[in-house]
Structure 1
Amino acid sequence: MEEKTVKHISSLFLKQFTGEISEEERKELDAWVQKNPENQAWFEQKNELNFVVDDHRNSSLVKDSEEAWVELERKMDKKSRSYRRRIIRYSSVAAAIVIVALCSILFMLKEQENVSGETPKDVHKSALISLLVDGQRDSVRLNIDKNIHIELAGVRNEANTLIYDTEKGEGNEIEYHTLYVGKGGEYKVILPDGSVVWLNSESSLRYPTRFSGKRREVELQGQGFFEVERDEQMPFEVKSGDLRVEVLGTSFDIMNYANEKQARVTLASGKLRVGNGERAMVIVPDQQVEIENRELHVRQVDVRYYTSWMGDLFLFDEEPLDRVVRKLARWYDRDFKFEDSTLVKTRFSGALPKYDDISKAFELLEMTTKVKFIIQEDVILIVRRE
């Protein structure tokens, strides 16, 4: 198929699944599909991935994405692939997200490059996960996908989750534990009160083995998503550097890495009080507090972009490239270097696969930005693409 035809028909196809296609364009697309078996096969191949877009913010979807489709078409022609039907629903998703998410799923589901039989998640099974008890020099190593017996009363390790069966109230002496998740890892902990915390790469959580007193206090470094059990008599508080997040019962994400200029608190449900010792504010679901230079700013957000790290994709919405790269660096445990410092201002919207080789993420980024990634022995160089 000629490239010019691919671009035009791809634009009509995109308009169709975003609901922007006119009646005249629909007739043109139908006529082209019925013209010959080759066209029919091409169209059915695209429809194997049945995307349903409920709402989108950018009406320039087709114009901005034609080149991505052409590039995708070239890659699809390189070798035959088997397809399976997958329905993915998006609401309020940026146009670029749709295109890059499509590319992501094509790469993840169709490319059969891993001849060793290993799953993509095998790459991250060697990540360092450890539990340190205050006052003890040695930590307990927790392996991903392996249940390690822990010689601590009331503590068990199952299915990549650390579970505390210790209870509130009088009884055993309170100890403080710190769960550390290294680069390339992620882990979950169920605290003594039943609250659940998901820890992202290069993050740690310090907490007591039993909550007592008037407050339930924990300390976070890095990023974690919290689902807090409601207890009006004993509010839950997260400390993260200068940040203080107070809650009765809710779910929210805190991102506060040492190498990030901004810290973010994003609320999924309930109500939060966020402060830094100088100022505090209360936020409601779908709001985010961003903290930079001790200044607090609140804004409306789509929570999924800030909690997607718990799933199989990283989602980005107009994110600066340097922040995208730092997230990849934490997950893949690789060092990056920008050859041209102005490239850090490049904005990226899209979806990148988590459990796949890092080269797949690079391909998708290169398809939608003006950068190129060069993998060297000890660093990944980011250069401007001509």
Structure 2
Amino acid sequence: MMMTKREIKKLLRRYTSGAASRSERDAVESWYTSVEYDNRLQVQEYEQAKESVWNNINPHQRSRRRFLRYAGIFIMLCSISLLYYSIYRDNTVDTLAETSEITPGGNRAVLVLGSKDSVNLSQLTTGDIIRHEGIKIEKLSDGTISYETDSTTNDIASINKLIVPRGGQYRIVLSDGSIVSINSESTIEFPSQFTGNERRIKMLGEGYFEVAKNKNKPFIVESKGQKVTVLGTKFNIKAYPNDTHTLTTLLEGKVEVSFSKGNAILLPGDQSIFDGKNIKILSAKTASEISWKDELFVFDSEPLESIMQKIARWYDVDIVFDNRELEKKQFTGTISKHNQIGQVLNLLEMTGKVKFTIRNKTIYIQKNN
């Protein structure tokens, strides 16, 4: 995470006013000897900053530091943002000491076939095939589960269920060729094959859909009191049980979102927000809405409450806020979901807004005083 120009100036002001901690003073003075120019500061601002630091270094240390500078001992150039990371990394390691038992999520899911058999998909290896009621189910090399109509198929379709737990994520190719990515703590119900004049499934949680085109057989997703109808398109639905709103975000094509009182048409870039009674349509932040399927956390001025919900589902942890005001604080940034939880929380701590403590797989969030 890079420091902004404002954050750089704030750190320098803390240094020159005498409010900086010992580790902050050491880092700034090391920066003075090792960094020639940071392009987030104008040249004049940079020179003023250098002069300010020089004037605050103890006189008996100046000759030694000047010697070190010209002797070339500090030869590795680095930005203030990395130095800032080293400052706060030292301050947060102890508070995040219990992260060893918390690991990032991965491809984890259980497939329930009909009303009886269940398969732990993590235990299947690439190329494994399951045959069930005329359907061939295969695990592909990327971990995806693919449904394919067998040559011996009949018109009987059973309802299957894909259950993705906390700390899980999975992708499935349905029998019509539609691809569904399922996020943590989510469930999708679908027929083993689509018979009749429609393709209807049910979902609770979050899923990203790439629907195979079929003008004669609409694809319908039911979720928490709403119904999304499409012919072929790409969209995301977020409908967790405890969420107050159901979000439908459209990437390509056109969809109809209907509910008991009416319906709404979404065009690419639209997002519908359904509160159980009414729908409103806004412009979507599509990159952050679908980043989860690409194994990224992307936050775009996102409230900490929403961020921590995502972290809780992916790392299978519980969250406790010290006060509700913290839930509203907004953050912007991008980080891989494969990072250890300590790295994710450290980056949030580096903003100076919050402080985290982990005990027994519970993250406690406090204001950083």
TM-score by length of 1: 0.71
1:124 and 2:137 aligned = no
Task: Indicate conservation of the 8 Å contact 1:313/1:353, yes or no.
Answer: yes
* 1:100-249 correspondence runs (5 A): 123-125=104-106, 128-136=108-116, 138-143=117-122, 146-147=125-126, 148-152=128-132, 153-158=135-140, 159-166=142-149, 171-249=154-232
Task: Indicate conservation of the 8 Å contact 1:167/1:210, yes or no.
Answer: no
State which of 345, 348, 357 in structure 1 corresponds to 2:340.
357
Residue 13 of structure 1: SS of its match in structure 2?
A: coil
Rounded Cα–Cα distance in structure 2 between residues aligned with 1:169 and 1:289: 42
Residue 330 of structure 1: SS of its match in structure 2?
A: helix
Task: Indicate conservation of the 8 Å contact 1:169/1:210, yes or no.
Answer: no
1:3 and 2:3 aligned = no
Cα RMSD after superposing both structures? 3.4
Aligned to 1:113: none
* 1:1-386 correspondence runs (5 A): 3=28, 6=31, 12-14=38-40, 41-42=76-77, 45=78, 71-72=84-85, 74=87, 123-125=104-106, 128-136=108-116, 138-143=117-122, 146-147=125-126, 148-152=128-132, 153-158=135-140, 159-166=142-149, 171-386=154-369
Rounded Cα–Cα distance in structure 2 between residues aligned with 1:329 and 1:69: 27
Aligned to 2:16: none
5+ residue gaps, structure 1: 16-20, 47-65, 79-115
Q: Specify whether residues 385 and 74 from structure 1 end up closer, same or farther in structure 2 by C-alpha distance, changes over 3 A only.
A: closer
Matched AA of 1:219: K
Question: How far apart are residue 144 of structure 1 and its match?
Answer: 6.9
Matched AA of 1:143: S
Matched AA of 1:315: V
- Greater Rg, structure 1 or structure 2? 2
Task: Indicate conservation of the 8 Å contact 1:168/1:212, yes or no.
Answer: no
Question: How far apart are residue 70 of structure 1 and its match?
Answer: 5.0
Matched AA of 2:248: V
Rounded Cα–Cα distance in structure 1 between residues aligned with 2:274 and 2:152: 36
Question: How far apart are residue 171 of structure 1 and its match?
Answer: 2.4
Displaced runs of 4+ in structure 1, greater than 4 A? 4-7, 9-12, 24-29, 35-40, 167-170
* Cα-to-partner distance string for 1:87-122 (whole Å, 9 max, x where unaligned): xxxxxxxxxxxxxxxxxxxxxxxxxxxxx9xxx9x8
Per chain length, whose mean CA-contact separation is higher, i.e. which structure has more relative contact order (CA < 8 Å, sep 6+)?
Answer: 2
Matched AA of 1:270: G
Residue 220 of structure 1: SS of its match in structure 2?
A: strand
Rounded Cα–Cα distance in structure 2 between residues aligned with 1:384 and 1:74: 18
Task: Indicate conservation of the 8 Å contact 1:149/1:156, yes or no.
Answer: yes
Aligned to 1:95: none
Q: Specify whether residues 4 and 253 from structure 1 end up closer, same or farther in structure 2 by C-alpha distance, changes over 3 A only.
A: farther
Q: Specify whether residues 378 and 75 from structure 1 end up closer, same or farther in structure 2 by C-alpha distance, changes over 3 A only.
A: closer
Task: Indicate conservation of the 8 Å contact 2:235/2:251, yes or no.
Answer: yes
Rounded Cα–Cα distance in structure 1 between residues aligned with 2:225 and 2:152: 29
Matched AA of 2:28: E
Rounded Cα–Cα distance in structure 2 between residues aligned with 1:345 and 1:300: 21
Percent same amino acid at aligned positions? 29
Matched AA of 1:130: V
Rounded Cα–Cα distance in structure 1 between residues aligned with 2:227 and 2:176: 20
Question: How far apart are residue 75 of structure 1 and its match?
Answer: 6.5
Matched AA of 2:121: L
Rounded Cα–Cα distance in structure 2 between residues aligned with 1:269 and 1:230: 12
Rounded Cα–Cα distance in structure 1 between residues aligned with 2:174 and 2:189: 11
5+ residue gaps, structure 2: 1-25, 52-68, 91-99
Question: How far apart are residue 341 of structure 1 and its match?
Answer: 2.3
Rounded Cα–Cα distance in structure 2 between residues aligned with 1:168 and 1:244: 33
* Cα-to-partner distance string for 1:292-338 (whole Å, 9 max, x where unaligned): 24221111123111010012320011211111111111000001111
